[in-house]
Chain A
């Protein structure tokens, strides 16, 4: 019964966000156009820099375009994980729905979780659009891809990223604005995670640091699955690494969040903007 009610609540949040988004239909069309421009930019950039040496330096060979497209598209998941929890909290504070939600029989963690489902679904759609433009117009070919492997990598990544997102939201809960945790995590992940270039070109000590960041495993696994068509035995190390991150980050972030929530309730600043 409790599980059923929780799922009903999560579904209700998704329906709420979908109903609100339906009121801004042009945003969907503009989003698809924006994705086209993004993909086209990477395509022409990759044509400019493409060389046999560059191809041989890429983990799965092939074109730099395919490498960068996957990095670009899947980095979005990390950005959404770090932004969506924060934004849902801020938005609820701004439109005063936070107080109304908090006096219901739904806990704040469920409320936050429910509020990020739609952004993650939207990001998945956006990723499909990115890859779709790549396939349709720019010769991106994931024919030999291990799609099930890619989905497993994605799910494990979302769990690990959600841990980071909840952790970072604890800061917003306490201090309201200017979340440095978010910028540090996004900055480090962008720099070291292998989004636009392989991690192997970094100095050794930075490669070691990159091993401590979930997106490194996420992008490695995703490229292996989509570009290399890697079998599961080659994907497991990435999936297990991501699940270990999730196993550490999720309880830690829930603990931090619970502490922050309690603290703001004591100081009476929970709904302050």
Chain B
């Protein structure tokens, strides 16, 4: 019996300060895990907002809609119909990749939700609707609206740029909020580790004083606490990231129809690549927070000893 216990006298995880009891292996990982869970959600929010902003800017911002009333009427300038003239101007405009008028069937499809199946029989004087695609970086077409109106009075140019810019600003604001949430979560995690470490210091004050009296340096004592805190924080990080994963997959499946980047295939693992990289980094981050906070807290506390 004595010999078997003697085998336990190994230094590998030698707990000279009794930290296995002083730093609870339940509460600290639980709290850090909750922080990691929130961090994963905030991270997902930041990634999603970033993806949407980028998608809107590259997609919708590069599009424009032109409405030409009475498209078959004669153009005010030049030859042909009003529609032909508008199309000619559009296609001759630098920065415009394509300008395609919607077909009658496409217009009917657009109106069907409001006018029902009889839309084709109503013989409404519908304007021509031209979908215009702009080249990358060409979101402004100065003077175009004026020239179109001159060729075909009443022509309307609806640029998506303004509301896309507003949406992009909104998306960037959401990104900033998510970043701020991440910082707050990291700060709370650090505070949790600091409080737990201080509780451990109080609980093990006598042992620390004994070891300090035997010649232990601040680094020696701080390393004991930091080692324990790092391990517990990493466990919390793993648990939190693991718990967040199914939630994120579920949210991604909900967001897929709205064009979450990389999620268009709607596969069961349809998370943005950034998130797949960030989730495993969370336990590393929590471990780093645990290490740095415990080290700093213990070293600060030890200054009271001579």
The answer to whether A and B come from one shared complex is no
